[in-house]
Amino acid sequence: MTDKIIIFDTTLRDGEQSPGASMTRDEKLRIARQLERLKVDVIEAGFAASSNGDFECVKAIAQAIKDSTVCSLARANDRDIARAAEALKGAQSARIHTFIATSALHMEKKLRMTPDEVYEQAKQSVRFARNLVADVEFSPEDGYRSDPDFLCRVLEAVIAEGATTINVPDTVGYAVPELYGNFIKSLRERIPNSDKAIWSVHCHNDLGMAVANSLAGVKIGGARQVECTINGLGERAGNCSLEEVVMAVKTRRDYFGLDLGIDTRHILAASRMVSQTTGFVVQPNKAVVGANAFAHASGIHQDGVLKARDTYEIMRAEDVGWSANKIVLGKLSGRNAFKQRLQELGVQLDSEAEINAAFARFKELADRKAEIFDEDILALVSDESVSADKEQFAFVSLAQHSETGERPHAAVVFTVAGKEVKSESDGNGPVDASLKAIEALVQSGAEMVLYSVNAISGSTESQGEVTVRLQNSGRVVNGTGSDPDIVVASAKAYLSALNKLQSKANRVAAQG
Ligand code: KIV
Ligand code: ZN
């Protein structure tokens, strides 16, 4: 047993399974780079066999990332595993994560397989995967609700076949900390070759206990890998949140006695990047990364903190990336200052051309907005991927008229496959008119299931960040857009969602 916890981030796989959280290849690559900067040990980059798009994402990440292990999920069959291995070719360090359900419910109702068939398939898959890569993780899906005797039999067999990590998912978020911790402990005690593998926890948050369960798996169960996502992103109520689990282990080292390789100073940038990319807003009171996480509003607390910080602060805001000086740049800032700020925020743009394009947008924004905050810069670079030459639809300009007592009218100019078009419409309000104008021309037929506006940095001078969630033929996507003018931000968000709807190929869904 090591004294270090391996942080396995699955934002790009399990997190992305959250309806509307699908990301483009460039977005995933940017997040993967941020995870590498954070010094995450393992990045689960996707599920290569689920679609050609996912295959390309895993491949791109495997080639770009050098300091973290890159992993692909694969169902327990030869085709999925071979596809994962193919996508991971060229990775500095590669892992295949294969899974099959082991609970009676899943085996009977979902897989329609007998326990013996599942046992054989698990064994064969791990054997097959071990012939392709040295690092193989096995997960018994719905493991926590599986019969312990059967689970012991399967896990002993896959360890004998060479599985190097055994992950025990609480797929449906049913566990409670003490029971989950003891469950892992008892598996490790009962399985004769359990010491040949690293034990891992993977908890969903349906009852709000994913972080607590994961920590119990570590403390009571002896697990040494935690699977988690930035901001706890994930299907339904989400996954165990990386920032919370990491800061709990770090802040309570006296209790856990374990080390982590994570560079926590990059946590906030990672949180913002994921939130701005997916449109999943972080609640203000969210631990560690919420806007209020380090804000002391009550007089008594403020007084205490001014006298001695540790009266009310158990962590230092700077240690997770909050900076005291939030105003970073303005109209007179030059390209070098901008580039340096990007680096400090953990944003890596690939080429000088990309930096120049981002800088041009920064200048344009600085002309309209006196103070440019970190959040503005992050929004600006996440908009960067939506350029006319890369995307089917890109925003150009907008004019709208609204007056009390009159029906608002908007005219939107945007590009479709690089060609400029203009469309006009009335609407209930200027935003409605603008989106109707776009839809009148594109005719996507998509249903809008969510529209939200968020002030990026807290005042009316701030940029509005808009999220639009569209649903079409069973597919759900989120588009985001930001601009000091929320009507423009809305049009950008709508076009970004249309781009995602277009590019999102049908995928095979991973369970859990
Ligand atoms: O929750 C789950 O069971 C999963 C598996 C695929 C590991 O995500
Ligand atoms: Zn899961």
Structure tokens at 5: 């916890």
Task: Give the tens place of pLDDT for each residue, 111-170.
Answer: 999 999 999 999 999 999 999 999 999 999 999 999 999 999 999 999 999 999 999 999
Same domain, 439 and 415: yes
Query: The domain spanning residue 260 has which CATH number?
Result: 3.20.20.70
Query: The domain spanning residue 445 has which CATH number?
Result: 3.30.160.270
Query: Is the per-residue pLDDT at 210 higher than 50?
Result: yes
Which band of pLDDT confidence, cut at 50, 70 and 90, is reported for residue 460? confident
Residues whose CB falls within 8 Å of the CB of residue 479, separated by 6 or more in sequence, listed in order: 279, 467, 468, 469, 470, 492, 493, 494, 495, 496, 497, 498, 499, 500
Task: Give the tens place of pLDDT for each residue, 227-276.
Answer: 999 999 999 999 999 999 999 999 999 999 999 999 999 999 999 999 98
Tell me which residue has its CA closest to atom 4 in ligand 1: 512
72 lines ligand 1 (CB under 6 A): no
Query: Is the per-residue pLDDT at 326 higher than 60?
Result: no
Ligand 1 atom nearest to CA at 204: 1
Selected residue with higher pLDDT from 212 and 373:
212
In a domain, 284, yes or no: no
Nearest to 436 by CA among 447, 426, 450: 426
Integer Cα distance of 435 and 488 in angstroms: 10
Distance (Å) from CA 181 to ligand 1 centroid: 18
Q: In terms of C-beta density within 10 A (0-12 exposed, 13-18 middle, 19 or more buried), how is residue 43 classed?
A: buried
Average pLDDT over residues 180-196: 98
Q: List the 447-455 sheet strands across, edge first.
A: 447-455, 464-472, 475-483
Of the listed ligands, the closest to the CA of 103 is 1
In a domain, 285, yes or no: no
User: How many angstroms separate the Cα of 364 from the Cα of each of 26, 333, 357, 360?
Assistant: 23, 12, 11, 6
Of the listed ligands, the closest to the CA of 141 is 1
In a domain, 446, yes or no: yes
Ligand 1 atom nearest to CA at 73: 6
139 lines ligand 1 (CB under 6 A): yes
Distance (Å) from CA 126 to ligand 1 centroid: 16
Stated as kind and residue range, the H or E segment containing 146 is: none
In a domain, 283, yes or no: no
Of the listed ligands, the closest to the CA of 47 is 1
Give the β-pairing of 136-141 and 198-203.
unpaired
Q: Number of structural domains, the chain?
A: 4
Residue type at 107 in one-letter notation: M
Same domain, 166 and 260: yes
Average pLDDT over residues 94-101: 98
205 lines ligand 1 (CB under 6 A): no
Which band of pLDDT confidence, cut at 50, 70 and 90, is reported for residue 387? low
In a domain, 507, yes or no: no
Stated as kind and residue range, the H or E segment containing 168 is: strand 165-170
Same domain, 375 and 259: no
Same domain, 317 and 407: no
Q: Are 141 and 171 in contact (CB under 8 A)?
A: yes
Of 214, 247, 278, which one is at a domain's C-terminal end?
278
Distance (Å) from CA 151 to ligand 1 centroid: 15
In a domain, 511, yes or no: no
Residue type at 311 in one-letter notation: T
Integer Cα distance of 31 and 347 in angstroms: 9
Q: In the prediction, which pLDDT does 57 show? A: 97
Task: Give the tens place of pLDDT for each residue, 286-308.
Answer: 999 998 898 766 667 767 777 77
In a domain, 300, yes or no: yes
Backbone phi, then psi, for 503, in 5-degree steps?
A: -90, -10
Distance (Å) from CA 65 to ligand 1 centroid: 23
227 lines ligand 1 (CB under 6 A): no
Of the listed ligands, the closest to the CA of 175 is 1
Same domain, 409 and 342: no
Q: Which domain, by its residues, includes 345? A: 327-387
Residues lining ion ligand 2 (Cβ < 5 A) are: 14, 512
Which band of pLDDT confidence, cut at 50, 70 and 90, is reported for residue 51? very high
Same domain, 150 and 266: yes
| Alpha helical stretches, state H, 161-207 | 177-190
